[in-house]
Amino acid sequence: MANHENLLGGPAPTHLPDDPEPRELLASGAAPAEVAAKYPTSSLAWAQLADEAFEGGRVVESYAYARTGYHRGLDALRKAGWRGHGPVPFEHEPNRGFLRALHALARAAQAIGEQDEYERCSAFLRDSSPTAADTLG
């Protein structure tokens, strides 16, 4: 019998289940708004909307999209057994939508002067996945 105990004493990494349809639609060039409407639980679609809005200078809109993706991701994490802390590896592709939304929320919070939220979200990102924090900036 395999033992999956975390020898470092922390919780095991959370791996969200794969949801390939929204990811494949986005990769094929579908509009993120259409994907979010069809798959509203997809953090990836909301994160992409947040990125597009931010790049277009629509920071408050980016904040709203990112917050939606973040909360959808929290729901998915809890459903996958996450208990409020522990690793959410960026290396597991289905986790990337949540991590991108969290990054986008931190970025937009900073841009609108929500320094406390920026710091909380940045720390949460780094605690969840140092790789995501380094990769996403």
| Residue 14 located in a structural domain | no
Global confidence as pTM: 0.92
Number of domains into which the chain is organized: 1
End-to-end CA distance of the chain: 40
Average pLDDT of every residue of the chain: 94
Cβ–Cβ under 8 Å, residues 80 and 106:
no
The answer to the question of residue 59 being in a domain is yes
**Cα separation, 123 vs 49, whole angstroms:** 23
Q: What is the C-alpha separation between 110 and 132, in angstroms, rounded?
A: 18
Confidence at residue 9, expressed as pLDDT on a 0 to 100 scale:
73
SS3 128: helix
pLDDT bracket for residue 77 (50, 70, 90) = very high
In a domain, 115, yes or no: yes
pLDDT tens digit string along 80-136? Answer: 999 999 999 999 999 999 999 999 999 999 999 999 999 999 999 999 999 999 999
In a domain, 36, yes or no: yes
Does any domain span residue 90? yes
User: Would residue 68 count as lying in a domain?
Assistant: yes
Contact 14, 92 (CB under 8 A): no
Q: Dihedral (C-alpha) 49, 47, 120, 91: value to the nearest 10 degrees? A: -160
In a domain, 76, yes or no: yes
Q: Pick from 59, 42, 39: which is nearest to 104 by CA? A: 59
Local structure of 44: helix, strand or coil: helix
Do 80 and 18 contact (CB within 8 A), yes or no? no
Q: Which domain holds residue 73?
A: 31-136
Query: Would you state the structure tokens that stand for residue 64, as one six-digit string?
Result: 């709203």
In a domain, 9, yes or no: no
Q: How far apart are CA 91 and CA 110, in angstroms?
A: 26
